[in-house]
Amino acid sequence: MIDVALNRRSLLAAAGPVLAVGAFGLVMPARAQGLAPTQSMSGGANNYQKGAPVVNRIGKGGFWMTGTVRRAGDGAPLAGQRIQIWAHTVEGREEDQRSHGATLTDKNGAFRLEMPQIIPIFGQPHGHLAYDSGEFKTVFLRPVMRSAKDTGLEAHFILQPA
Amino acid sequence: MRWARVSLIWAALIAAIGVPAALAAASPQLEWRDAIYIAAGFAGIVALGLLLVQPLLIAGYLPGLSAYRARRVHHWIGGALVAALIVHVAGLWITSPPDMIDALLFRSPTPFSPFGVIAFWAVAAVAVLALFRRRLGLRTWRVVHMSLAAVIVAGSVVHAVLIEGTMETISKAALCALVVAAAFKVMTDLWMRRKRTLS
């Protein structure tokens, strides 16, 4: 369970405590009290397009964007939340309409959306995810892939009421 | 014998720049990029290659050129470096304006960006100062240019090494190492020579 950021700069600083918090959240739910909300990552909103439609799959697929959405404080999974996803892929540029799509979380607060393989742009292969539906505060994430060959990427949201 | 040595040096220089450029041109990543982004990326590779040529020219390490000629070529390549960087920045701007604005404002999440931006502005500063070289006086010019050159080399090399892009890793590292080595050698030689003449 790795929380949000796999940014090279923040990885060393953040990975330790984040991993610890993540593990505690799973093993000891009581400790999840006071779970801090996810902060937007810088550059997360780049090439964002409001209102991308909910889709079964972006393009031809082959790559899995996965993650969870939970509530700040008690860490309760949030069902039916809309997460928008976009990236520079083998099928299109980051700002192309067809590179954008949205999906909804299931009853466990998990989401997964198949999309085309992400390829490196602007120096690192990375995806973009947004929670932007209004009920909670908007969050933009820009997780970085460990390798351009990875065929999946994880990102987790902890939302606070808007 | 001399002819063999001259061609060997030039062949080595062409290989040092040409091999990484050729491997980048063969990168599978290119398939997923459009023409402007490819041009912007290659302008960056060209600029990195020119950084290797600059110290070699000014130190007179490249055979077949008189000192005067080498200095003239150094000036022209300086101009070419500026042009390459303008293509690099403009092309990336067209490819993704928000990413480029983030980089130029030093708020990009990627660590390689600020190094490139600092090197870019250092090149711009050298270009502007070069126009006033005579008015600055040779000594001031030299100190300022060498300091900025150190920033340019360090910034560009860190920028290039951290990027995951079309350049192949080993050839990129080799070119970067040569750029650093050439700049370091020429600068220390100049420094030693100056110290000797002063004492």
Residue B15 C-alpha, separation from nearest chain A C-alpha, in angstroms: 25
Contact B83, B120 (CB under 8 A): no
**A8, B111: Cβ pair inside 8 Å?**
yes
Share of chain B above pLDDT 90, in %: 86
Contact B33, B41 (CB under 8 A): yes
pLDDT at A16 over 70: no
Query: Which pLDDT does position B191 carry in this prediction?
Result: 85
pLDDT at A54 over 80: yes
Query: Which pLDDT does position A33 carry in this prediction?
Result: 61
**B96, A47: Cβ pair inside 8 Å?**
yes
pTM of the model: 0.85
Strand residue runs (E) in chain A: 63-71, 82-87, 100-104, 110-115, 127-131, 139-141, 152-159
Q: The sheet that has A152-159: what strands, in order across it?
A: A110-115, A63-71, A152-159
Tokens coding B193: 């020579």
Write the residue in A43, A88, A124 that is nearest to B164 by C-beta: A124
pLDDT at A22 over 90: no
Residue A8 C-alpha, separation from nearest chain B C-alpha, in angstroms: 8
Q: How far apart are the C-alpha atoms of A156 and B17, rounded to whole Å?
A: 43
Residue B179 C-alpha, separation from nearest chain A C-alpha, in angstroms: 21
Contact A9, A146 (CB under 8 A): no
Query: Which pLDDT does position A137 carry in this prediction?
Result: 97
Query: Which pLDDT does position B193 carry in this prediction?
Result: 84
Mean pLDDT of B166-183: 97
pLDDT at A5 over 80: no
Q: What does B161-199 look like in DSSP terms, one character per residue?
A: HH--SSS-HHHHHHHHHHHHHHHHHHHHHHHHHHHHHH-
Contacts 24+ apart (CB under 8 A), B97-102: B98/A43, B98/A45, B98/A46, B98/A47, B99/A43, B99/A46, B99/A47, B99/A121, B99/A122, B102/A42, B102/A43, B102/A46
Query: Which pLDDT does position B3 carry in this prediction?
Result: 87
Residue B62 backbone phi and psi in degrees, to 5: -95, 115
Those residues with Cβ within 8 angstroms of residue B115's Cβ, 6 or more apart along the chain or in another chain: B154, B155, B156, B158, B159, B162
Q: How far apart are the C-alpha atoms of A96 and A87, rounded to whole Å?
A: 9
Exposed / middle / buried, residue B132 (Cβ in 10 Å: 0-12, 13-18, 19+): exposed
Contact A137, A37 (CB under 8 A): yes
Indicate the residue type of B39.
A
Report pLDDT digits (tens) over B52-65: 999 999 999 999 99
Query: Which pLDDT does position B195 carry in this prediction?
Result: 80
**A46, B102: Cβ pair inside 8 Å?**
yes
**B163, A43: Cβ pair inside 8 Å?**
no
Mean pLDDT value across chain B: 94
**B110, A46: Cβ pair inside 8 Å?**
no
Query: Which pLDDT does position B1 carry in this prediction?
Result: 64
| Structural domains of chain A, with CATH | 66-159 (2.60.130.10)
Residue A1 pLDDT class (50, 70, 90 cuts): very low
Report pLDDT digits (tens) over B86-100: 999 999 999 999 999
Contact A68, A156 (CB under 8 A): yes
Which of chain A's residues have a Cβ under 8 Å away from the Cβ of B38? Answer: none
Q: Tell me the three state secondary structure of residue B117.
A: helix
Mean pLDDT of A98-108: 97
Does A149 contact chain B (CB < 8 Å)?
no
Contact A128, A114 (CB under 8 A): no
Does A11 contact chain B (CB < 8 Å)?
no
ipTM entry: 0.84
Indicate the residue type of B99.
D
Q: The sheet that has A100-104: what strands, in order across it?
A: A100-104, A82-87, A127-131, A139-141
Q: How far apart are the C-alpha atoms of A159 and A138, rounded to whole Å?
A: 8
